Structure 1
Amino acid sequence: MTPKEIIERLAAMPPPPQGVHHVPPVELVAMVTRMGRSLRQWKKETLADFARVSLSTVERVERAEPVGAESLDRIAEALGYERGAFTKPRIPTPREEAAAQFVEEMGHLEPVAVSPFDTHRQVRMVAASQAFLIYRPELGPAYDAQVAGLTEWMDLASMVMGPHAIGGGEPDRRRDLCNDVLAAVAEFRRRGVTVLVGIMDAPLPGMPDWKVAIITLTPKLSDPGAPKRRTILVDKRSVQPRPGYLPHLA
């Protein structure tokens, strides 16, 4: 089935009896799989490799065709869901409640263009932003010291090259500082971590030009499609200043 046909079939389904356990319909599994893959900007081949299933299996799932439970479990896990998310019977969420949950989860997401973090220009762009956010949901504690080091370098870059620089902005110093930041980034790559960066417009009341630099750290083992990603979705609520925050004044 095409995506349009899948959506039409889902819309035409009668509401399931409340309080009765049901396995998710193949149409819903197909839509969730397509959406999860699209959000990660994975090709079908990438999902197949990561889930350890054949390409034809992924294609059948996305066409809402029956597939074995083991393959569905592997695909669910590859997309970040728990094992059994596509196969275990459960009490369905009422449609109105499910729609409200979807809006709540997706309504705050903002697309942000990103690219590999590897140029002096990108360092200067991050430093010129009003804030930066390092996003590292899949990096374990073994990376804490390294993340803290990158944070310190970016704080220093913001002080030296930001809109409210406090001194030390000579050309040679800025160039050396950019090299230091990129060396810290290169160390992540050496350990198999993809580092992407982008600038998000996040205007606030009284601060229409507020920009937040987004730096994502993603292990290639858990997200093999990350190196080719050029857009990410960022929760706008995560870039709001904490209560009581006051921007630096010129």
Structure 2
Amino acid sequence: MRTVGNLVRAQWFRLLHGPSSGPFALTLVAVAGFVVVQFTAYWDDCGTFRAVLGRASVVEVYCVFVALYLAAFFAEDFQYGTVRNLMVGKGSRRAWALSALVVTFGCALGAMLLGAVVTGVVYGLMGGAPVAFDIGELAAWWLVASLLATAFSVVAVAMTVVVPWAPLTTAVVAATLLTSGLGYWFCQAAAVGLPAPLASFVTEGVLPLTLTALRLSLLNGAPIEPWWFADLALVLVASVIIIAAALNRKELRQS
């Protein structure tokens, strides 16, 4: 655990003090503010602040930015050989995977909170209609949204670790494909041509469990279900195991 803590502190320091951290935060603020300014006129029917967050597409937009930024951030460990200096002891590869999860979740929590705050402030300044605040509902939204952004990011990092070439390029491509939902839409379209029982299994049993489906549910204001947490936890655990196993199996890459 001490190794994990040391890696978390090292990665967190690098994340906060890196040259791209400031522009990243400013981009998140600008994007949230821009969306609110553009669509405030159409929000008279929002009865709750969560509905405002959904209309502002906070999850939809922020998952993309967080996944792209963090996938590229961790890919740099492999791109420039930094990871060799972080993995020098027994169990250090598992510690690196866990530290990546912790740092990613912390960043996602901060990003989603920032998006909610900026949306609320700009919405109020633009004269949006009064809405109800349900603290419990907003807390659940914040946690699920943060877990979702973490899942997108960690899966992208896992793909980066597994693919043995061009880590930075792989990270960007993986995060883009994941957050664009191309796999989801492809499977949805492909299911149409499958035999009825198999098509039903894919559309009703598989696709609702995907990250894109959960993001669409949050976007559309669907009630948050307890099984969402289990689904996201399973994705995160599987991804961390894949990362740790790949690092133990392969020689660390260095440009």
| Structure with greater Cα Rg | 1
Return the structure number with greater relative CO, CA threshold 8 A, min gap 6: 2
TM (norm. structure 2) is 0.22
Flag the structure with higher strand content: 1
